[in-house]
Amino acid sequence: MARAIAGLKDGKVPGGDGIPAEVWKHGGDNLFSRLHQLITKAWEVGSVPQAWKDASIVTIYKKGDRTDCGNYRGISVLSIAGKIFARILLNRSSVHITPEVVPETQCGFRGNRTTVDMLFCLRQLQEKCIEQDRPLYMVSVDVSKAFYTVGRTGLW
């Protein structure tokens, strides 16, 4: 839990409970102990407080015409306590992410993997195919705004 709290970024907007990351970082032993009790209870009963799951959507202007809705992106403002719990779960589950479960070629949603890494791999593959005089077929899909088209009711 200490590692999850230490990893919080300062200066971010707190969730609906209004408790910023700095309070969790510097709140002392009593606050730390109380959060530990809440997390332990959530783990035991298999359910987290609703406030940890609730999010406020805030729009952030990107660039371009301010009257065009496509030039804004939404961010979810979540409870910091919920983020701490989620980070603990991630840290515990990440030890089970082995090449048998998630192949090394999977870069999406993995730490220390970027689009640049995949572009490098793609370029290497392209050069190898040219070198060996073999055809290379590719499909490229732009999913930059795909989040808004996902049927989220089916995910839950």
Residue 150: band (very low, low, confident or very high) from pLDDT cuts 50, 70, 90: low
Residue 61, beta-bridge partner list: 72
- The Cα-based distances of 137 to 125, 131, 133, 134 in angstroms read 11, 15, 13, 10
Residue 80 · residue 24 · CB < 8 Å: yes
Name the percent of the chain lying above pLDDT 90: 42
Please check the confidence at residue 32 and state whether its pLDDT lies above 80. Answer: yes
Mean pLDDT confidence for 3-30: 91
Q: At residue 28, what are phi and psi to the nearest 5 degrees?
A: 90, 180
Take residue 37 and report the two structure tokens written for it: 């009790």
**pLDDT, greater one: 77 or 99:** 77
Is pTM beyond 0.75? Reply is no
